[in-house]
Structure 1
């Protein structure tokens, strides 16, 4: 059984939609500024996440703006891989399972950006998801898709 965690925070900066492996699986890496508890004096943690497939594409489309408040449900997944120098590296990643934007993207801020050019549906698309967007992928789906310098144990 896997534990699901939830964070609510603000997007740190715009992020890129990458494609990995020979199947060109969509992937995003993003960071959130998350308050430890709801107070103006609370410390803020900067936490990073990764998302794949449909969730990655929807995050890119609906949450790719600095300061946008987003609720993220995620699981922590660990793996060991061998880097290009031949050393084993242990990594724990926060993998986004579903998310909910708490506001719509500001289209005025997005005009003229690369994000808008890659995703030109903003002008006629006001449909921010009404429910959380779920991820249908697991880390096991990507073992064959990882770059050749990664070894999953």
Structure 2
């Protein structure tokens, strides 16, 4: 029974680790494509939000912009504390957004997954996948009676 539980847990780690790895690199590639081919628009800071937690704090910017030939869009994005402190509601900002999907946007220069973060997450995800693989493929050791 313990072997079955270890294999189920191992398979779970493998599936989750591999899925997260694919999602991480998909997000990174999408962000890089948006940087290379995205359009620019002038946006407006609608409001700022600060979410405090015991382990970390989130600085959230709510901004609005109108894409070329489209309707006004309003989005929320986590930003650095430095930028959050500098901006005020009503300030103008440059927004970069996707040509095919204006819902994918961020304040220019902020909100993109960095290569360093993608590599770090990949390392963690590969490690978890390997742990799962070991648990999945482990052989059960049988208890052999001691001969006296």
Q: Choose 1 or 2 for highest CA Rg.
A: 2
Structure whose residues are more often strand by fraction: 1
TM-score bracket relative to the smaller structure: 0.3 to 0.5
TM-score (norm 1): 0.36
TM norm structure 2: 0.37
Q: Which has more helix, going by share of residues? A: 2
